[in-house]
Structure 1
């Protein structure tokens, strides 16, 4: 081989080696991404970009990494490059809009949202203004949950805290202080039992705090939930009979949900439920607000993969019927468990199948207009971490509760964390026409802080509705604008309001611009052919105007303009229209309207037709009728 061929072969080998190296990096980055290891994936995607390998793809994935890491600043930085790529999927327009909104760049965000729509993209029905999922989504959501100290954790596994009537029931493997300990072979910890302590107690919780009765066994027991009357407990337990574990076909011991009854302060009369089976697990019981539905986790046949959330109706006689899966909005091919229903009927659960911060994350659900679950949201930091976060519960006040996590910094294995919640606060309202009380769609809503800095900008929907997230403990001014109306504004404050309050209402009323806007179309009155007398239907409309001027807008001033159709001579129609204006004027005066509040009552004959029914045109009587009318022009509102 001569030297040229040798060098050429070496170059080819070097290029091939480098190419294979970059391909391997991309595969590794994709694997990390698919495992939700977004920090490490981002590092490798950045290396691919630096090495100029498949740059467009790597940039898209890097932007997605930052989005999923709740970093809208860097996400927007890379999405800005992505949206300039040729044939980029239009979903990236939406992702860019979200990132911009996370940076409070509302105007630019709306531009890219509109581009997404114009390209055929479908956005949730109410866009960003009422999209609950987006409001509490991964971008720059205001922190709602704040952690509080829990004094009853141990060095073992503690989870499933459930507060009921001043006491906290929880599950723990802390079975210390006993001469003989039984250890669970999986993790060499004692088996789980159910404990109870007073809320806020500073006393050490040891084996003496186990609940009294027959709930705790020689195997795993817990977590629990209790009916509102305090008489019935549902709890998880290993499947066993006659003190011996029952194995399935794979040699595994599954979980079941049992029911216990409180008698003389002791939990007894343990009952195996009809929803259980030996070949699958049924666990993590949760009750809805009126104790008519039992939610639970199970890997029974008919699910979507792993374990799913299921629900069954509880009948007055205690029987369980109408078992069904809650659906694929909640359930995935991964594992879902630890359901909980708060007093508002919201389902919370843990999952490793939805995109999250780590392993198991805690999610809440969003309901549609028909009370069906339409989406899920990640509760975010600090509830979720890069470890397992689960067994979320919320107290009836909707503000405090508990969850468990094996994150670093705890006392033991799984630890219980208490939280207090400061719910997202928003201002919302409807923009209405002051004349006809109809909602005004596409009104411009601008929110200012106490220094008149603009902090939000949006349009009302088709119902005149708007909704904007705001901070607590601040003063605001909100302004509604529409080109055919006079601006209206309201000043309001979010200072010193109850934590439970989530909504401040600020409706806005827009008056028509003077000398330009006609009253609503329903207030136009019509006349019979060649007549100027006030018909019964016209009298009804005139009475509405009288009420408007006397009772709603005592300062309003109008003028009257009357018209004819095109039939007849021009001069005759001029006189006929003046007669119509005069009869309209006379009717209003007879009802008590001050003549000074009607600046003019004029006739315009056939000079201002509303359609194409000029002389000689073939028009139906209904079309001519539209021209035989009197209209009212607002000169002054107040």
Structure 2
């Protein structure tokens, strides 16, 4: 007996560990998805579906991943499953339609666009993609980015915001407090310098906030990128070094990329990078996560258009390989500028050559499993506008960042805008006993509104749990542990503000008490074929149960389980059995039983047959009758 108990505990612990591992896998998949790493995300979503963990959510995310990977054939398969889900967000009708268009199923496309409109969907007037290209329209089916306030913009030009180690670095032509003012003849504004601020809500950022050291000069500086250790920066500057302004053969001063080191809180030891030239510009440096590649914009020989995105490998000894053009999926015959690489290696850039909303638009890139760039995505509104939008930055978690724009309504000529993305929502809480002591290894089941189990996990040694959920959805949470009475409650994520990342659901479990069950047994009642009304012969037993609960055992708590025989489809029998449970519950309540004393009334269809009549053998009507029943289970005797 002890061995059996030990094995059972081990199995439960392993099940809890597995569920927790799947929760971690979903969190990792969502992080990859947020950072445009759709290949790796799709692999994890496949694993979650195979392991039956939060399948509806994983299916929708997988469909989107395939869409962004420009794989409409696979996207159609999973969008088809998504639109069959209960309470699916209506943008998936739209996404399914676009994917059908991508596989040239125009009849299906028109049908699901009608379904989308009937469900209340509205079509964005801005067309981001050609008829043969569904990816941008799917990405922009719902708003991905939400703008938040930035208080440190000036009446001049501000752009290139870059966040590192709690500080925001940016380029600005503000000159408040500067005794000697230098004006750039091109736009009659002061020359750009690099500034820092502690947070986006700072309203006063003046000359005292300029980057300390030798980076800023009397000419243009910015934007920059910073190594992970925070000790080295790469930045753009006019061709000005050692107090000498360089010019090409036509007398034009180009941009160059420089490197600086942090020594005693000062940026110094300025070095010009070896691939610079007086005859073309290199600018807008951007490092990848591990600092082995530097991306930049340039009109150097080998460019496809005006300015292209290039990259150069940084060797382990700090030297540089030969620059390479990033290719014609990214670069066009016009201008690509302001590259940025997020923590998962996805490239973002500004372009006026790809199809967009205005002048410069911001685009993201999608890579295949071999890390080759296969596609670009217009980030849509509100990041892009009818004006210039550029200098994109994304935080490590992919949920916030900055960009710049000269759109209408700004403070200066170019302004910095901050954005947030809708984060994953989770339910979290603590399970305690009646004395407020945490209970570990409690099984917490996440159920849909119909009581179907979506996922489960176990509480940790502090009685805590957390699990990812969809927004705008109703759920139930059920907690159970041997020796305690189950506790179930309804929770909803409907109406939750997008800034909120978690909702709480705490539980108190009461111990089961050893009490004698009633001497009198609670007998089943039976139903006619294909009916759920209470038969006259069943009222005798129901009235007896009412009397037992109201007079003999006033603290007895029960649950109701209803069933069907095996004839008919499984889905129909599920509905029929639930109607029988509803009718039974209604009868007891109408005859005086307190609803609080019936913890559950649920139909099980043909899942729990009382005999072998499962459709594979011939059975009499009397044998089928034994399965058309409602049973009463005593939960507790307080």
Q: How high is the TM-score relative to the length of structure 1?
A: 0.50
| Bigger radius of gyration | 1
Higher relative contact order (CA 8 A, sep 6+): 2
